[in-house]
């Protein structure tokens, strides 16, 4: 969440085999590969190519990307527009009160919700969405998080660095595609919540909601797009 793009050379590693499934917007809990609530529309191994557009058409609804064998039910997205100044004023406290995201994380990527083209999504699927090739290193303090994303592919490693302020003040960030966003971030209970509004030539008044929280020993980042598509990424600590 909140990637400021500053390419540099660097290395990275880590990762493990994972399964993904696609299912309607209401999340289901998955244990041992079986749905305990809403049935999955489709699931696949990371090496298989699935046409997401076809799955969406068949499901008749938005699509959510999720890890297998991990409960994913969380509270519905919260709006920073409804927060008072008091909420922001009390957001800057000792970071030990909140989950500690510090460390190096291996992650799986899901590109559709940010408008990545069909061809690029197929290319990402062919390399397993970066599993084992994409890490995230976080340094956290009371003011916010410094997040460094490192991608290792066939070309030179790419590094993206950003500091996410957690006091509710607005900042400008760039996503990995180079799109400019205005973002506000604060803690709501033990969840770090951000709202992004696209700026520049593609300015939008409809926000993308981002949440970062711990689920067991894994870190989860969740995005809810302006169209209501919920996308989650799970990270294992290296």
What are the start-end ranges of the H helices in 127-184? none
Domain 19-237 coded CATH 2.40.128.20: yes
Per-residue pLDDT reduced to its tens digit, 187-230: 999 999 999 988 776 677 888 899 999 999 889 989 888 778 78
Q: How far apart are CA 113 and CA 120, in angstroms?
A: 13
Q: Which of 87, 134, 94 is nearest to 110 (CA)?
A: 134
Give the Cα separation of 173 and 168 in Å (integer).
Answer: 14
Q: Which two tokens stand for residue 115?
A: 């408008």
**Per-residue pLDDT, 177:** 64
Q: In this predicted model, what pLDDT tens digit does every residue of 95-126 receive, in sequence order?
A: 446 777 776 554 334 455 555 666 766 666 66
Highest mean pLDDT pick, 15-19, 50-54, 125-129, 220-224: 220-224
Instruction: Output b/e per residue, 28-63; b: 16+ Cβ within 10 A.
Output: bebeeeeeeeeebbbbeeeeeebebeebbeebeebb
Buried b (16+ CB within 10 A) or exposed e, 107-135: bbbbbbbeebeeeebeebbebbbbbbbbb
Own/partner pairs, 31-40, CB within 8 angstroms, 24+ separation: 31/69, 31/71, 32/69, 33/68, 33/69
Nearest CA-CA partner of 95 in 197, 195, 21, 165: 165
Looking at per-residue confidence, does 133 or 105 come out higher? 133
Q: If pLDDT is split at 50, 70 and 90, which confidence band does 151 have?
A: confident
The Cα-based distances of 36 to 39, 51, 69, 229 in angstroms read 8, 25, 11, 21
Q: Does residue 155 have a pLDDT over 80? A: no
**Which residues face 72 on adjacent strands?**
none
Mean per-residue pLDDT of the chain: 62
Report the candidate in 175, 42, 66 with the shortest Cα–Cα distance to residue 115: 175
């Amino acid at each position: 969440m909140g990637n400021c793009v500053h390419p540099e050379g660097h290395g990275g590693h880590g990762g493990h085999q994972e399964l993904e499934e696609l299912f309607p917007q209401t999340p289901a809990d998955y244990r041992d590969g079986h749905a305990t609530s809403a049935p999955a529309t489709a699931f696949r191994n990371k090496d298989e190519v699935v046409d997401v557009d076809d799955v969406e058409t068949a499901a008749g609804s938005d699509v959510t990307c999720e890890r297998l064998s991990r409960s994913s039910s969380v509270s519905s997205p919260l709006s920073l527009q409804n927060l008072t100044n008091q909420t922001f004023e009390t957001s800057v406290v000792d970071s030990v009160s909140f989950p500690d995201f510090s460390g190096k994380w291996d992650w799986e990527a899901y590109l559709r919700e940010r408008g990545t083209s069909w061809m690029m999504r197929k290319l990402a699927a062919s390399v397993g969405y970066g599993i084992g090739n994409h890490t995230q290193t976080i340094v956290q303090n009371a003011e916010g998080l410094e997040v460094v994303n490192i991608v290792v592919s066939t070309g030179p490693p790419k590094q993206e660095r950003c500091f996410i302020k957690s006091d509710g003040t607005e900042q400008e960030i760039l996503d990995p595609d180079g799109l400019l966003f205005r973002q506000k971030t604060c803690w709501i209970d033990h969840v770090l919540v951000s709202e992004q509004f696209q700026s520049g030539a593609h300015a939008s008044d409809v926000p993308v909601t981002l949440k970062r929280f711990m689920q067991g020993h894994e870190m989860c980042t969740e995005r809810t797009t302006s169209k209501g598509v919920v996308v989650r990424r799970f990270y294992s600590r290296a």
